[in-house]
Structure 1
Amino acid sequence: MTFDADDAAADSDGVHREILRWDEFGEAARTLAADVLRSGYRPELVIAIARGGLVLAGAIAYALGTKMCGSINVEFYTGVDERLPEPILHPPMLDVPAVLGKRVLLVDDVSDSGHTLAKVTALLADAGAEVRSATLFVKPRTIAVPDYVLRETPHWIVFPWSALPPVEVEVEEVVA
C-alpha cells in the first residue's frame, strides 16, 4: 500500500501528520480483509470501536462478506494527541451475550497508546468471544499490537472521515 508523497508532512503547528485519502482507504480496507482471510481466520462478527473504527469496520465486513456487525462506543481522544486518563465506554452498550462463542474481528482506525484496543479486547474475551483485531495504523508506543495492521507510523494520522470539522448550519437553514 502506498501513500502520497505529502504524507507525514509537518503542518503549521509543527505536528507531523500522515494523510489517508478516501481512495487509499478503500484499498487499505480490502488489503486488511485479505490479510484476515489469508491467516485462516473467518470472523462471524465484525465489531467497530466507535467512532474511529466505524467506517473501516463496515468496509471490512463487506469485503469479508460478514453480515453480523456491531460497535462499542469508546471515548479516549479529546484532540490532537490529547486523551482522557483512560478510555470510557459509552451507551448504547454491546449485547455481550450475543458474542459468546463467536469469532470476532475487532476493528479500529489506529492503535495509538493501545489502551482502547486492550480494554475492548478484554471486554469481548471476558464475554466469551474469540477476538482478533485489525487497524489501519499502529504506533510504535502501543501496548496492544493488532493481529492485522496495514502500517506503523509515529505520526498523527488524518483520516478522510475526520479531516474536516463538524458541519455547522444556521437554524434558519434547518427549518427551511
Structure 2
Amino acid sequence: MSAREQLTWEGFGAASRDLSRTIVADGFVPDVVVAIARGGLLPAGAIAYGLGVKNCGTINIEFYTGVGTVLDTPVVLPPELDLAALEGRRVLLVDDVADSGRTLALAVELLHARGADVRSVVIYTKPTTIVQPHYSWKQTDLWIDFPWSWQGSVVEQDAGIAGVG
C-alpha cells in the first residue's frame, strides 16, 4: 500500500480551529459559509462554529467517483444552492482538499458570477491544484484518509460482507 496522509478526528479539530483563527486574523468576516458537498460538509460546519457564523449553505458538486477516479468535468448536482441569494454577500467556500482544483474552480466561478465576494478554504492543498485557495491548513501530495470517509460507506462494507454486489 502506498503512503497516505492520515487525518484523525483530533487533527481535524486542530485544523478547523487553526483555519478559523487564520480567517479571523485576516479580517475576512463571511456572511455565509458554503460547503462543497460532500467533502466540505464537516469542515464547513466546524469552521462556521469557529467563526460564529450561523448562515450556512451547500453546493453539491460531483467530480471524484472513487479513489483516484474522476469524471471528465465536475458536475453540479441537485438540489442546487440559491446563488441569487448570495449576490453581494461575503461567502466563505469550504472544501476538504484542493486536489486538481477543478471542483473549487467551478464553485468559485458560480459564486463570482452571482456577484459574491468569495474566499475559499480547504484543509489540504495539493501541488496539482489549478486554484490556490485563500486559506489552507497543510499541503500534501499524498492521498488523504479523512476520518469521515476513509472506510467507505457501510452499504459497500455490508454488501462485501454479505457477498452481495
Deviation at 1:16, TM superposition (A): 2.3
Aligned match for 2:99, one of 105, 108, 112? 112
- TM-score, normalised via structure 1 length: 0.87
Counterpart pick for 1:61 among 48, 71, 74? 48
CA distance in 1, matches of 2:82, 2:3: 39
Pair 1:138-2:138 in alignment? no
The one-letter amino acid of 1:139's match is K
| Structure 1 counterpart of 2:7, from 20, 35, 46 | 20
Decide which structure has the larger Cα Rg and report it. Answer: 1
Q: What are structure 1's unaligned runs of at least 5 residues?
A: 1-10, 171-176
* Counterpart mapping for 1:12-161 below 5 A: 15-161=2-148
In 1, distance between residues paired with 2:90 and 2:152?
Answer: 36
Q: CA RMSD in A?
A: 1.1
Which amino acid in the other structure matches residue 30 of structure 2?
Answer: P
TM-score, L = length of structure 2: 0.92
Deviation track 1:27-73 (CA, whole Å, cap 9, x = no partner) reads 10011011111101000100000000000000000010001000000
Structure 2: give runs of 5+ residues left out of the alignment.
160-165
Distance in 1 (alpha carbons) for counterparts of 2:76 and 2:96: 17
Partner Cα distance (2:3, 2:73) in 1 = 24
One-letter code aligned to 1:88: V
- Runs of 4 or more off by more than 3 Å in structure 1? none
Single out whichever of 44-53 and 74-83 deviates more from structure 2: 74-83
Corresponding letter in the other structure for 2:71: L
Where 1:74 maps in the other structure, the secondary structure is: strand
Which residue of 2 is the match for residue 3 of structure 1? none
Instruction: Report the more deviating stretch, 76-85 or 127-136.
Output: 76-85
One-letter code aligned to 1:114: G
